[in-house]
Amino acid sequence: MSFAFLLRPQLPAYTCRACLLRLSRASRRPISSKTAKDQKVNTALPTSPARTRFAPSPTGYLHLGSLRTALFNYLLAKRTGGQFLLRIEDTDQKRTIPDAEQRLFQDLQWAGLEWDEGPEVGGPYGPYKQSERSTIYKEHAQKLLDSGNAYRCFCSAERLNNLAEHRHKLGLATDYDRTCASTPEEESEDRAHKGESHTIRLKVPDQYPTYKDLIYGTFRPLKKRGHVTETSFEDPILLKSDGLPTYHLANVVDDHLMKITHVIRGSEWMPSTPKHIAMYSAFGWTAPEFAHVGLLVDEKGNKLSKRNFDTDITAFKEMEIFPETLTNFAALLGWSHKEKSDVMDLAALIQNFSLKFTKGNTTVTFGKMHFLQRKHALLRAQAGGPKLDEITDNVARLLTSPDSPYPDWRKVVHSSPEPYITQIIRVDAENYTNANEFLYRNAFFFTPLRRSLSTPSTTPEDIPKRAHMLADISKEDWQKENLMQKVHEIIDGREQGKEGSKDVYHYMRMALTGQEKGMRIYDVMLILGRRETLARLGVD
């Protein structure tokens, strides 16, 4: 199966009909042994430092899909000792959201994706905002005019619309007919000089060049098929009538001037890549390596949207998802590795990164993210330090807030809540997802609980009495080893002996936590402390 077939159902709405037709034909083409060989890819890392970039538009906020794109480019640069650039593609001023640019900076920094060159950092190939590079684009459009690889198009919007409608009725791709390509150079110059509205189009070759995608292998565009009476050409506009560049021109010029060696981007840009390759050729430049990663889709195969949780990064922050959890989760969407565990922080992702991407789209299910959150919570608890303190502070802030769901917590916690909370986190970190869920799961630690409310009616009468033996342990000796020894004495002293141990543990768990299941009972006793433990067991 050719890779074009894999991508065809997910092509973006703005893809031209010519691209759709070409990829549709490619999907029906039988694969020869030569074609199959072309699809083999080399997943080896480049032998020299890679320069990669993330080029978002401030027309929206950073979401899961764009974070993944940024992350893959970041990991490749860092894995090879190269540089990761941030470039803001802000030429579409009408759709720009006022705070989107600053939010992009904040969200990337929150995720740990610090850029080596770009806004707020600088670098040798700036400016790194396209709105500040208009002169550069005009100069390069003029170079293509001078070399004969581009031409001015003076056609009105009305003519272009009529042409598109005419071709559409014939069942043809709505491409341009190159009417203006034959305009004499002097006439073109004169009309432009007089201020006549026009665009600049790339004069594409009759056959697009072959290129090799790092994920899908060799892409060979089909030979163009003509029409008996109609001629058309996929000559993309480079410079719009307002003098601003299109994505095609700005993207190619910027990547070349910024010395980008590798471009990892979404598969929706795949139909545009032959145009970009043709433009590199027209300039006489070497194109970077391209890797097109599949789309993120839900379980029904639909592209992620706000309705199915492809929302901006703020939502994950509000859920208290750790940065290392989200980058870990995003990295696993369409990338595979040889490690035994999927749990990796950013440093581990860099160390293990390769170009082993999966072909086709990736289904997103968020159960994996919550699994990773618990694993990273455990790592934070084991490591201690600021990241553990952050969890503690979040829980303490919720617990002590005026609208705390546990207003009587002070009756249980008789000192500052932070050390108490940290104790619980260290024991229960493998179940931690966020502060609210943590408090709910461990509510018995923050709510007074008495024996009359939690002792099972089926508890043998001698167990509550024998549980009083725990009072023999002093406050100074209230340690795990001593608690275990005393509980064993309670069990051994009963007529049933060890055969009745289950009843003893069940009684203690219910008396101390009010729950059938939960963390180890000795950990509960240690965290509650001697005073609260004995009170819950009815020992005055």
Residues identified as active-site:
306
Task: State residue 76 phi and psi, 5-degree precision.
Answer: -65, -45
Whole-angstrom distance, CA of residue 359 vs CA of residue 7: 9
Other CB atoms within 10 A of residue 525 CB: 26
- Give CA–CA dist 384/431, Å, rounded: 17
**CB burial of residue 75 (10 Å; 0-12, 13-18, 19+):** buried
Check if the beta carbon of residue 334 is closer than 8 Å to that of residue 357.
yes
Query: Pick from 65, 50, 99: which is nearest to 362 by CA?
Result: 65
Instruction: Give the pairing of strands 217-219 and 211-213.
Output: antiparallel
Residue type at 288?
P
Our separate counts of H helices and E strands in the chain read 22, 11
219: helix, strand or coil: strand
**CA neighbor of 506 nearest in space, from 516, 518, 494:** 516
Degrees to nearest 5, angle at CA 375 with 370 and 381 = 125
Structure token pair of residue 352: 């293990």
| Residue 404 CB-density burial (10 A; 0-12 exposed, 13-18 middle, 19+ buried) | middle
Q: How far apart are CA 488 and CA 490, in angstroms?
A: 5
CB atoms within 10 A of CB 496: 13
- In this structure, are residues 4 and 30 in contact, taking their beta carbons and an 8 Å threshold? no
The stretches of 90-235 forming alpha helices (DSSP H) are: 100-110, 134-147, 157-169, 185-193
CA distance 140 to 341: 48
